[in-house]
Amino acid sequence: MKNKNIILLSLMLCFFAMGFVDLVGIASNYVKADLHLSDSLANLFPSLVFFWFLLFSVPTGLLMNKIGRKSTVLLSIVITVLSLALGIAGNSFVMMLIAFSLLGIGNTLMQVSLNPLIGVVIGGGSRLASTLTFGQFVKAIASFMAPYLALWGATGVIPWFGLGWKALFLIYLVVGVLSGVVLALTPISEPKAEAGSSLAKCLGLLKRPMVLLCFLGIMCHVGIDVGTNTTAPKVLMERLGYTLNEAAFATSLYFIFRTIGCFTGSMILRLIKARTFLLISVVMMALSMAGLMFGNSQWVLYAAIALVGYGNSNVFSILFAQALGEEPERQSEVSGLMIMGLFGGTVFPLLMGIAADATSQAGAVAVMTVGVVYLCTIIKKISI
């Protein structure tokens, strides 16, 4: 039991490292200011991060079958640390594009391989679901810390080597190295790898209507997540005249409530049906979109950001579980396909940047509202 607890502690550090990907929201705003970019160009950074989920999700599954789950997680940490190092050194548009691309590739490898590695240690059933939910809670801690660390670096509270807001990259780099070293030194016995999936098998599952609906739902969920992460500070700057440092709190507020949602959602889902909880979540997000679209006061906008943070926190787990139940004999292919749905984090920010440049941040909110409307349409089809 003691050995298992040590292994779980090591894996929770990896979940914290998984949360590094969410620094892209606040970081893209600072890069925009540093390099004097338009919204369209600035939103290219979060789009690039999530673009790699489309290309690397299934190949990562094949890689796991060759080198093992633990080795794949370690490789993901190496790539993530490299991306953070390039972020510290980068002072050009191209260098930051490379850094954020590597961050996305590393996170893709980690998302696909870390959950199965947890399964090796815990087994299946409710204990696995509970552990994975707690892992998402740990991941969310890294997510909402990022804006504060960037702010403290920018304002000199963290005067590390004169890096400014990039002190965020250095702190997470150190934690990333630590998580990699701890995992490398932790012995984990893995079963023999199963036969790998393939892109053709995964895409073929889209012929199943419910699998397709869940795939598109996950695209919307991640698009709203990344979109809020990126756009909420811009809304505060546009409507309330905040500086970037003042507006950085919006991203932390979002992740605070997403973290609360992850923590409480696992308990609520034991008491009520997932479909009912999804309905409540989507209503909260709809109210949030109205607040972000029309709100002009600090508290209305803060309430809107909190609502979307909590409302969007459990959508992925509900849709993922629904999709797995549709094809219980092909869970590897379904898992790969659902992770590919994180590509929504590429599509939404691009469209939002174009809409914001053409109109205002209300245009970006309108794009997210389309995702909320779609989630509303599939509630009746959820059977769990």
Helices (H) and strands (E) in the chain, counts: 18, 0
pLDDT, position 123:
63
- Residue 60: both structure tokens together: 């990562």
DSSP letters, 131-194, are HHHHHHHHHHHHHHHHHHHHHHHHTTSS-STT-GGGHHHHHHHHHHHHHHHHHHHS----PPPP
pLDDT, position 117:
81
Amino acid at 125: G
DSSP-assigned letter for residue 269: T
Intervals of the chain under pLDDT 70: 1-2, 123-130, 191-199, 328-332
Q: How far apart are CA 164 and CA 149, in angstroms?
A: 10
CB distance 81 to 74 below 8 Å = no
pLDDT, position 332:
62
CB distance 61 to 197 below 8 Å = yes
Listed in order, strand segments (DSSP E) in the chain are none
Q: How far apart are CA 377 and CA 375, in angstroms?
A: 5
pTM of the model: 0.76
Q: How far apart are CA 285 and CA 25, in angstroms?
A: 19
Q: What is the pLDDT of residues 236-293, one digit of tens each?
A: 988 988 887 788 788 878 888 988 888 888 778 778 888 888 999 999 999 999 999 9
Q: How far apart are CA 60 and CA 137, in angstroms?
A: 24
pLDDT, position 127:
61
